[in-house]
Amino acid sequence: MSTAVVKLGVGNTASVMFALERLGVEAVLTEDPARIAAAERVILPGVGAAAHAMSLIDARGLRDVLRAYKQPLLGICLGQQLLYESSEEGDATGLGLLPGRVRRIEARDLIIPHMGWSALSIERSHALLEGVQTGDYVYFVHSYICPLGDATLASSEYGERFSAVVGKDNVFGCQFHPERSGAVGARIIENFLRLPC
């Protein structure tokens, strides 16, 4: 099974690669459009600003590749946000694989970014969340949130509720860092790797 991790040079690629290695998965870190298009699954990690990340995606010729990709695709943290149509952050245009606009957290009297462990609330059963329960804690680092909607598989809360895990067709996302979320995060990565191509 070939797994490609998109190399954007922003954020958490090393920890994602290490998490895959711990699970015995041979993954390639690449920015090559042909290798990404040919992979059996793709992980899009990211930390940083949406507009900058999308400019890197465009510079590498990956926007159309990711939009056309039909196998399982997982966005992590900023990678989940890039799956949406747009973001308030830098007024970025996203990949448009999920409907809606990413916006800044509105949390009075709370520190932004939201950084730390928060509980998941399962909204809809899915193979991606097999073995994961409401109340399980995962590790977040983010200032922007994805809207609740039909794609929401699990939510979390930091001043307000938001989509913590999303899924629609072959497209999935985790707003948190599964590679830093202990056994729960490892289970979600394993589940993603087991999804049918």
Residue positions annotated with a catalytic role: 77, 177, 179
State how far the alpha carbon of 33 is from the alpha carbons of 7, 67, 69, 81, 193, in Å.
Answer: 11, 12, 11, 21, 21
Contact 30, 36 (CB under 8 A): yes
Q: Who contacts 59 (Cβ-Cβ below 8 Å, separation ≥6)?
A: none
Question: How remote is the C-alpha of 43 from its chain's centroid?
Answer: 8
Q: Alpha helix locations (H) across 62-181?
A: 63-68, 78-81
Query: Residues 52, 85, 132, 137: is their CA dihedral positive or negative?
Result: positive
